[in-house]
Structure formats: structure tokens, C-alpha cells
Amino acid sequence: MEVEDGAELCFPQFPNMSCTKPLSPWPQTVTIILYSISLITVTLNLLIIISISHFRQLHTPTNILLLSLAVSDLLVGLVLMPGEIFRATSCWFLGDFVCATYTLLSVNIPSASIGDIVLISVDRYLAICDPLHYTTKVTARRVKFCVCLCWLCSVTYSLLFVKDLPTQTEMDKSCYGACFMFSDTISLFFDLFINFIVPVTVIIALYLRVFAAAVSQARVMRSHITAVTLQHSVTPKAKKSELKAARKLGVLVVVFLICFCPLYTLGFENYNSFIALIKPFLNILFCFNSCLNPVIYAFLYPWFRKAVKLIVTLQILQPGSSETNML
């Protein structure tokens, strides 16, 4: 292995096998800020998890999906974001087993997040396009089953995708002091298809259908705005509530796609030097989405702001606090 003059080695005692210490793609101040964002991500998503788990009124099918997304976002802030910052700025001294575990999680957690976003899109599709049967089709038990199935599929997929990592031979490892997985072109395109093309197509198709139905229902509500019967005054309010929920979750989905798409559209190819240069930024952008989600909740969901206030003031420790009216 050739080493550039003046390059600092991760393992100077093994000059022929050691990787060179990576040059940080950003200043040290930025690194500190990124670690701070990671801590904020963990804190905010922990507040979401506590809020939905503690207050009984928030145990709705849609919020169960948000809870699952918050769990994956928490893991992003706790594991993936610090890991990506560490890999981009330091040599890997944690060994092959920790590297294999981290690589496994780096596939599992994003897959679960993508699955959650797809489930949220399906939930809004059924709520808007089939409102009469929504409560019978979408129950808390069925949503919990779908969430568990989503995580099970994510774990299974990640195990299959990285199955060869622990058994890579010495010839497969270009040097020591780095943590990355060698993937052939077929595996990369398979991952692109399963984790990007299929779910993004489903998400966009469902939300186009949702907003087309929303526009149609909005016109119907405007045409009946002068009605004064009980039937016509209650039904539009219910529809309006569902439309607002669709818009709020639509913002969540759009922000996710903005942060997620660059990673797969530009970063799936490992052998391009330009891609190798910008890939740390793409990984951080994807991880940053996990910090944005709770901020979106804070702006769009009054129940989250109320729950945070009750949590911070420790009022949730009082007897019967789980029955507090949050809506």
C-alpha cells in the first residue's frame, strides 16, 4: 500500500497495512456543532417517545406510527450521527466487531425509517380516500402489528445485506483503521431499488392521490358551507380535521424526501472520487432529518408542545397524569 508523503497513519507501527488518518471534511467547530445536533436529536425524540407513550389520549394509530419514527430518529441521533462524524474525522480503533455492528445498524435504522414513512403515507391515504372504513381498517392493534413487521423486515434485510462483512478476508480489506463495507455493484443497485426506488415511488403516488382527494373534498365542503343541518355541519369538520392532518404529515414526508433522496441518488456509488468526497455530507444530511422531525412536531402539533411542558415541569410524575386531556 502506497502512502503519501507527510500523511499521518492510523497505525504507524504497521506502515504497509495502516490506513491514513482521514482529513476532516469540516472545521473542528463544525464537528462540535454536529455532535451538539446529535445530542439535541436524542433529547427531542426522547420527548416524543415519552409523550406518546405516557398520555393515553395520544395512543392513536397515527401517533403509533409517529412513535416508531421517533424511535428510529432517536437511534439515528444516538448511533448513526456520532458514528458518521467519527468515521469522517478519526481513525477507526474500535475493532471489526463494532464496525460490523455499526454497519448493520446503519442499514437497519434507515430501512425502518423508510418503512415508517411508507406506513404514514398509507395511513393518510386511507384516512382521506376511504374515511368511512378508516376506523375499522386502521386499528391500534393492526398498526402495532405493521410497525413490528416493518422493524422485523428491516432487521432481516440488514442481516442479509451485511452477511459477508464479518467473513471478509485479509485481501478484502485495503487497510486497517477504517470502517466501511465492500459491496458489489449488484448489491448496491438492489439496495437502491429496495430502499429508495420502491418506497419513494409508493410515497409519492399515495400523497398525489391524497392531495387530489383533499382538493376534491375541499370543493365539496365549500359547496355545502351554507348548510345548517347537523349532518352537514359535523361532517365537514371531520373532513377538515383529516385534511389538516394530511397536510401536517405531508410536510414531514416532504422534508424526509429532501434529506433522504440525495443520499441514494448521489451516494450509492462507492467508486467515484467525487461521491467519496461528498458522501460524509450526504450521510449527515440524512441524519439531520431526525432532528428536524421533532421541530416539525413542535410547530404543527399543539399536543406535543403541551406534552413537553408537562414533561419538563415533571407533572407527568403526578398520579393520573396519563389521563390528561391533550387535544
pLDDT in tens, 274-295: 666 677 788 888 888 889 888 8
Give, in degrees to the nearest 5, the angle at Cα 145 between 301 and 110.
65
Query: Confidence class of residue 196 from pLDDT cuts 50, 70 and 90?
Result: confident
- Report whether 264 contacts 196 (CB < 8 A): yes
What is the pTM (predicted TM-score) of this model?
0.84
pLDDT in tens, 2-27: 445 556 788 777 777 778 887 777 78
Question: What does the pLDDT read at residue 165?
Answer: 57
Domain ranges of the chain: 28-323
- Report whether 88 contacts 280 (CB < 8 A): yes
Helix (H, G, I), strand (E, B) or coil at 20: strand
pLDDT in tens, 148-183: 999 999 999 888 777 655 545 444 456 778 887 666
Q: In this predicted structure, which of 53-62, 77-86, 166-175 has the lowest mean pLDDT?
A: 166-175
Closest Cα partner for 310 from 302, 14, 71? 302
Asked if pLDDT for residue 240 goes beyond 80, the answer is no
Q: In this predicted structure, which of 21-35, 100-114, 124-138, 242-256 has the lowest mean pLDDT?
A: 242-256
| Torsion 236-238-242-248 (CA) sign | positive
Rounded Cα–Cα distance for residues 96 and 182 (Å): 13
Rounded to the nearest 10 degrees, the angle between the axes of helix 198-223 and helix 230-267 is 160
Question: What does the pLDDT read at residue 89?
Answer: 85
Asked if pLDDT for residue 53 goes beyond 90, the answer is yes
Closest Cα partner for 293 from 82, 52, 122, 31? 52
Q: Which residues, 6+ apart, have CB-to-CB distance to 163 below 8 Å?
A: none
Q: What is the mean pLDDT of the chain?
A: 80
- Report whether 37 contacts 81 (CB < 8 A): yes
Question: What does the pLDDT read at residue 243?
Answer: 65
Query: Which CATH number is 28-323's, of 1.20.1070.10, 1.10.8.60, 3.40.50.620, 3.30.470.20?
Result: 1.20.1070.10
Asked if pLDDT for residue 100 goes beyond 70, the answer is yes
Query: Confidence class of residue 115 from pLDDT cuts 50, 70 and 90?
Result: very high
Question: What does the pLDDT read at residue 234?
Answer: 44
- Report whether 45 contacts 77 (CB < 8 A): yes
Cβ atoms within 10 Å, residue 293: 24
Q: In this predicted structure, which of 77-86, 205-214, 241-250 has the lowest mean pLDDT?
A: 241-250
Asked if pLDDT for residue 144 goes beyond 60, the answer is yes
Question: Which residues are bridge partners to 53 per DSSP?
Answer: none
Section 172-201 average pLDDT: 77
Print burial letters for 160-174: b (CB count within 10 Å at least 16), e (below 16).
ebbeebeeeeeeeee
